[in-house]
Structure 1
Amino acid sequence: MPDYLKQEQIDQFNQNGYLIVPGFLTAEETNGLLTRSKQLIEEFPLETHPMTKFTTGDDNHVGDNYFLNSGDKIRFFLEEDAVGKDGKLLKPKTKAVNKIGHALHELDPQFRKVTLENERVKALVRDLGFHVDPVALQSMVICKQPEIGGEVGEHNDSTFLYTNPPSALGFWFALEKCTPHNGALSFLPGSHLTAPITKRFIRLPEGGTGFERLISEEEERKATENLKGKYILEACEPGDLVLIHGSVLHKSERNTSQNTRFAYTFHMIESPPRAAYDAKNWLQPTPSMPFSRVLDEPNLKLINPALA
C-alpha cells in the first residue's frame, strides 16, 4: 500500500505531539458510527444499570466493578450532572451518557471495521513509525452532552494507559462538528517532549482505582516550570482524525452549547518485549479477549526513540 502520511505531517506530529488529518473517515463511515452510537445508547437497559458516573478528578475517579470490568464489554458511563442525589437521572437517558466503553473496537462490527479492519489506519501506523507491533487496547465514544458535558482537565493519555517505556497513541475521530462552545480539544504543543509522566492510574490493592506517583513532587514542580507555550484549541469537522501522542498535554472544556460533541477514540500501545504492560493497570486483557494486533506484520519504519 502506498504511503498515507506525508513527511511534513510526520514532522508536525513529532514536533507538536498531535496531528490533525482532515477527512480521514468518509461521510458514510462518520454518519454510520454516529448513528450506531446513538442506537447503542437508546437500546441499553437503564433498569439494570448501576448508575456509574464517569469522573476524572484525582480524588474521585471512577473505580467500581462496572468500570473495572469493562475492558471486554460495551458499557455506558453517565455524566456527573445527569444523576441526582437520589441516584435518579435528571436528564433523559439519551442526554445523560458521558461515554461508551471500552471494547467497541472488538465487539461492534461497525467500530471494528473502522479500527482493526481499516487499511488506512494500518497505512498511517506504518508511515508514522511510532510503533513496531502495536496492539489496540481500548475504545470509547465520548458524547459531551449539551450543557452538562463535563470538563476534562489537563492530562496525558500515558498516565491512564501506562507502559514502560510510555508508548500510548490515541486515534480521535470527530463524529460531529467540534467547536469552542461544545468542548473541542486543546493541546499544549511540544509538551510531549518536556512533560514527564508524573503518575499512573492503577487498580488499588484494596479495590477501586487511584494514582501512583512516578516522580517526586519536587521533580514534578520543576518539570511544570519548564513547560512553555500556550494551549491551542483545535476545531474539527466530522470525519477529521486527531492523532494524539501519549505524552502530550491536552484538555477539553465543558460543553456549554445546545449541541452534543460525539467523538470516537481508540488507543494503541507497543506490545512486549519493547514495552511492558503490567497488572497494576486498571484496564486488563482477558483470556477471551487479549489485546488485538493492529498490523499484519511488524513495522520496520520505527522513529520512536523510546522504543528503538
Structure 2
Amino acid sequence: MNVLTPSQLEQWKSDGYLLLPSFFSPEDVKEMLDEAKRLCDEFDIEGHPLTAFKTAADGEHVGDDYFLNSNDKIRYFLEPTATSPATPDTPAKLLVPPSQSINKIGHALAVLNPIFHKYTLENEKIRGVARDLDEQRDPRVLQSMIICKQPRIGGTVPCHNDSTFLYTDPPSAIGFWIALEDCQPSNGCLSFLPGSHKTARISSRFIRNPSGKGTTFIDLPDVKKNEEDWEGMEGWRESDCKAGTLVLIHGSVMHKSPPNLSDKTRFIYTFHMIEGAEGTKYDEKNWLQPTPEMPFQPLFK
C-alpha cells in the first residue's frame, strides 16, 4: 500500500523536503513524548563529562569520546549555555536543572529504547514511506535521537545539509524528523531553502580528526566547493508544523532552525537513513561508526 501520493512525491523531488501532517496519531505522539520526557527526567549528571553539543561548521564543534562512541549507546548532550565555562581552576557546572540542560539524547534510541524502536524499525508506515521514496534499495537506520530545544536556551542550528555529516559515496542520507510538540518560529521550527538539494554540492564532510582528537571538516578534492551564500538567498520557508507531523529531509537540502527564545519546549524525534546496498560506501572517516555488535540497522525486513 502506498503511503505517499504522486503529488507528494513530486513535491519531494522539487523541494527536497516534505511535510506530512498527522502522520502519527495523538496517541502515538503522546507515547513518544512521554518517553522523551522520562529520559530527560532520569538524566543523572553524576559522572557525566558535561559534553555540550555544538554545531557551528566554522567554529567549535563537539568531538570527545563520549560523543564519538555513541553509536551503540543512549547518551546525553547538553546545551552549551546550560553550563558555566570551565577554567584551569574551576570545572564547568550546570546552570539549570539537569532535565532542562539537554540539547539531545542519542544516538541508538531506535535500537535500544523499546518505544522509539517501535516507531522506527518496527513501523510499517515508516517502511512504506521509504519504499515510496524509492531513493534507497537497502536503507540503513542510524543517528536516532531526541532533540529538545529547551526553553530560552535552545540554540541555533546553522544552515547545513545532512550528507555533510553522514557522508556516503555517493551521498545518500535522508532525514526523518518527527514533531512531538507544535513547532513554530518562536520555539525553533525548521526552515528550508526549497530546491537547494539540486544545486548544493556535498563538497566537504565532517570526520574524526586524523590526529585522534575530536572532529573536523575536510574538503572533498574532486568536488567543486560551494561558494553560494545560502543563508542570504531569498526563498527560505519556515516550516511550522503541528505535533505528529513527519518531515522528510533530503541529504543535500539546506535547512536551519533559530534559537528557542520562548517559554515552550520543542521536542522532536529524528533518525536518518543511508544506502546500505553494494555500490555505496560509508567509510571509517565518518564521525559516527557502527560496531560489530551494533551495525547500522536495516529498515526493510
Question: What TM-score results when the alignment is normalised by the length of structure 1?
Answer: 0.92
Give me the whole-angstrom Cα distance separating, in 2, the residues matched to 1:209 and 1:20. Answer: 32
Range with greater deviation from structure 2 (39-48 or 67-76): 39-48
SS of residue paired to 1:137: strand
Are the equivalent residues in 1 in contact too, given 2:202–2:223 (CA < 8 A)? no
After TM superposition, give the deviation of residue 5 of structure 1 in Å.
Answer: 0.5
Are the equivalent residues in 2 in contact too, given 1:189–1:229 (CA < 8 A)? no
Are the equivalent residues in 1 in contact too, given 2:53–2:62 (CA < 8 A)? yes
After TM superposition, give the deviation of residue 216 of structure 1 in Å.
Answer: 8.5
Which residue type is aligned with residue 23 of structure 1? Answer: S
Does the alignment pair 1:220 with 2:226?
yes
Does the alignment pair 1:8 with 2:7?
yes
From the superposition, tell whether residues 295 and 228 of structure 1 become closer, same or farther in structure 2 (CA, over 3 Å): same
Give me the whole-angstrom Cα distance separating, in 2, the residues matched to 1:81 and 1:224. Answer: 28
Range with greater deviation from structure 2 (34-43 or 243-252): 34-43
SS of residue paired to 2:3: coil
**What corresponds to 1:73 in structure 2?**
73
Query: Deviation string for 1:251-280 (max 9, x for gaps)?
Result: 000101001100000000001413100000
SS of residue paired to 2:145: strand
Give me the whole-angstrom Cα distance separating, in 2, the residues matched to 1:3 and 1:220. Answer: 36
**What corresponds to 1:104 in structure 2?**
109
SS of residue paired to 1:135: strand
Which residue type is aligned with residue 84 of structure 1? Answer: S
Does the alignment pair 1:60 with 2:60?
yes
1:81-96 superposed matches below 5 A = 81-85=81-85, 86-96=91-101
Give me the whole-angstrom Cα distance separating, in 2, the residues matched to 1:193 and 1:210. Answer: 26
Give me the whole-angstrom Cα distance separating, in 1, the residues matched to 2:145 and 2:34. Answer: 15
Give me the whole-angstrom Cα distance separating, in 1, the residues matched to 2:229 and 2:151. Answer: 33
**What corresponds to 1:302 in structure 2?**
none
After TM superposition, give the deviation of residue 229 of structure 1 in Å.
Answer: 4.1
SS of residue paired to 1:220: coil
Which residue type is aligned with residue 259 of structure 1? Answer: K
After TM superposition, give the deviation of residue 48 of structure 1 in Å.
Answer: 1.4
* 5+ residue gaps, structure 2: 86-90
SS of residue paired to 2:46: helix
After TM superposition, give the deviation of residue 228 of structure 1 in Å.
Answer: 5.8
After TM superposition, give the deviation of residue 295 of structure 1 in Å.
Answer: 1.0
**What corresponds to 2:165 in structure 1?**
160
Which residue type is aligned with residue 262 of structure 1? Answer: F
Give me the whole-angstrom Cα distance separating, in 2, the residues matched to 1:215 and 1:185. Answer: 31
In the TM superposition, structure 1's runs of 4+ consecutive aligned residues that sit over 6 Å from their partners are: none
Query: Deviation string for 1:165-218 (max 9, x for gaps)?
Result: 000000000000100100000000000000111210000121210001125997
Give me the whole-angstrom Cα distance separating, in 2, the residues matched to 1:6 and 1:219. Answer: 36
Does the alignment pair 1:293 with 2:292?
no
Query: Deviation string for 1:59-97 (max 9, x for gaps)?
Result: 211000000001110000000000012411111111110
SS of residue paired to 1:238: coil
Which residue type is aligned with residue 82 of structure 2? Answer: A
Which residue type is aligned with residue 147 of structure 2? Answer: I
**What corresponds to 2:181 in structure 1?**
176
Are the equivalent residues in 2 in contact too, given 1:195–1:224 (CA < 8 A)? no
1:107-186 superposed matches below 5 A = 107-186=112-191
Q: Report the identity percentage.
A: 53
Which residue type is aligned with residue 251 of structure 1? Answer: K
**What corresponds to 2:88 in structure 1?**
none
Give me the whole-angstrom Cα distance separating, in 2, the residues matched to 1:145 and 1:186. Answer: 18
Are the equivalent residues in 2 in contact too, given 1:103–1:138 (CA < 8 A)? yes
Are the equivalent residues in 1 in contact too, given 2:166–2:286 (CA < 8 A)? yes
Does the alignment pair 1:27 with 2:26?
yes
From the superposition, tell whether residues 129 and 281 of structure 1 become closer, same or farther in structure 2 (CA, over 3 Å): same
Does the alignment pair 1:209 with 2:223?
no
**What corresponds to 1:300 in structure 2?**
none
Which residue type is aligned with residue 126 of structure 1? Answer: R
Are the equivalent residues in 1 in contact too, given 2:201–2:223 (CA < 8 A)? no
Question: What TM-score results when the alignment is normalised by the length of structure 2?
Answer: 0.94
SS of residue paired to 1:47: coil
**What corresponds to 2:40 in structure 1?**
41
* 5+ residue gaps, structure 1: 297-308
